[in-house]
Amino acid sequence: MSSKRRWDQPGPSDDSKPPKTEEGKSASDAAAQAAAIAAKIAAQFANGTIGGKDGHDAEFTYDIDINDVRNRYLLTKGSTQDQIQEETGASVGTRGVWYPDRTRATEKDPPLYIHISASTKDSMQKAIDKVQELIAIDMGSLVEKNDRPRERRKWPEEKLPVGLDSIRNFNVRAKVVGPSGSFVKYIQSETSTRVQIKGIGSGFIDQETGQEEPVPLFIHITGPEEGQVARAKVLTEDLLLVVRQEHAKMATVVQQQQMELHQAQTQYAAYSAQMSGYAPPPPSGSAPPPPPGDGPPPPPSGTPAGDLAAQYSQPPAPSDTEAYAAYWAAYGYDVNSPEFKEWQASQQQQYQQYYAAYAASAGAAPPNDEPPPPPPA
C-alpha cells in the first residue's frame, strides 16, 4: 500500500471546470445529469457494488460508503484493515476519493468507500459487521489510543523577587513597570521575551485560580531561548537596582517626616499639659474692698487668724472658693452671708474674663516665667 493515499488529498476543487456539455444543452440539463449520476452511485452503494469486481477480487465483494462518516480516519488506516482481515479472513481496502461536497463525485471517481472481498459469504458478512461496528464507535477527539498529543515545549524561565514593600508616595509595582508599562515593554522588545510582574499586589490574576499568586511580588521572565532569557534577566536586575535605590531614598524621607511629626506631637502634648494646669497670677494692686457692712479690723499677728492671713501675700484667686473664703474669714468677715457670696461671685466673673482675654492674646505660645500684665483697673 502506498504511503501517500488518495483519500488524504482533497477531491476536485470547487473552481475546477465542469465537463463540457454538448452544444445546445441548458444548465438545467447538466444539473439533471449530475443528479442522475449521484442517484446511480447511491443505488450502487445500496447494493454494495459501487466499484465492481477486478481481477484480484474473491468471489464475494461488498462496498460501504464512508465519505461522510466521522470515523473514516480510523477505517482507512492500514492497521485497522489488517486487523479486520485477521479476524474475518476477508480482504479490506479503501477506494474512491473523499469529497467535502459529495455532489461533485463522478462515476469515474466515486466518493470514498470501503471495498470488502471474501472467498465465502460468511467471511464477507463478518467483515461488513466489523466495519459497521467501527463506524458506530464514538471516537471523541479522533486521537488514537496509542497516539500521544503533541505537548507544547516549555520555555526557559527566570523568577526575580522584587523584595520591596510599598510605602507612602511610592507604589512598587508602578515603579517597576514604568509609566504606561514602558520599562517592561522595553525589556521585552530588546530581548524578545515575555516579562510579567506577579504575586501579591501585582494585579496579575492566575487563570486557574482566579486570584493573584499568594507569594511576595516577583518578576517572571519567559522566552524561547536561554540566551534571550539571560539577557532579559540582566536588564531586569538593573531595573530593580534603580527601583531599590529610589525606594531607599523615599524611605529615608518618610522616616524623617515621621520623626518630625512625632516630635511636633510630643511638644504639643507637653505644651497642652502645661497650659491645662497654668493660671496667671491674680491682678496686683490693693485688695478689693470689703463686703458691705462694717467689718472688724485685721486680726493681730500671733493669733490663729493672723497666722492664716499671713500665709497669703495677697487675696487668693476667687476661683479657689475655699481658700478665698478662708482668707476673708480670717479678717472677721461673715463669708456665709448673702452679701459676701454675691461679692465673691462678681470677683470670680472678673477673673474669668481676665483669663479668657489673656489666653486669646497669648495664642499658642507657651507661658514664660514672667507673669502676664494685670488687667486694666
Integer Cα distance of 210 and 238 in angstroms: 31
Q: Is 117 helix (H, G, I), strand (E, B) or coil?
A: strand
**Average pLDDT rounded to a whole number, residues 334-354:** 79
Any idea which of 236-245, 264-273, 274-283 has the lowest mean pLDDT? Answer: 274-283
For residue 277, the model assigns a pLDDT of 55
Give the whole-angstrom CA distance, residue 233 versus residue 229: 6
Please give the model's pTM, rounded to 2 decimal places. Answer: 0.35
pLDDT above 90: percentage of residues in the chain: 24
Distance CA 4, CA 41 (A): 26
Average pLDDT score over residue span 213-223: 92
Q: Which pLDDT band, with edges at 50, 70 and 90, does 322 fall under?
A: confident
**How far apart, in whole angstroms, are the C-alpha atoms of residue 72 and residue 126?**
19
- Ranges 16-25, 30-39, 194-203: which has the least confidence: 16-25
Q: Provide the grid cell at 172.
A: 512598587
| CB-count burial class (<10 Å; 0-12, 13-18, 19+) for 8 | exposed
pLDDT score, position 221: 93
Q: How confident is the model at residue 191 (pLDDT cuts 50, 70, 90)?
A: very high
Higher pLDDT, 107 or 183: 183
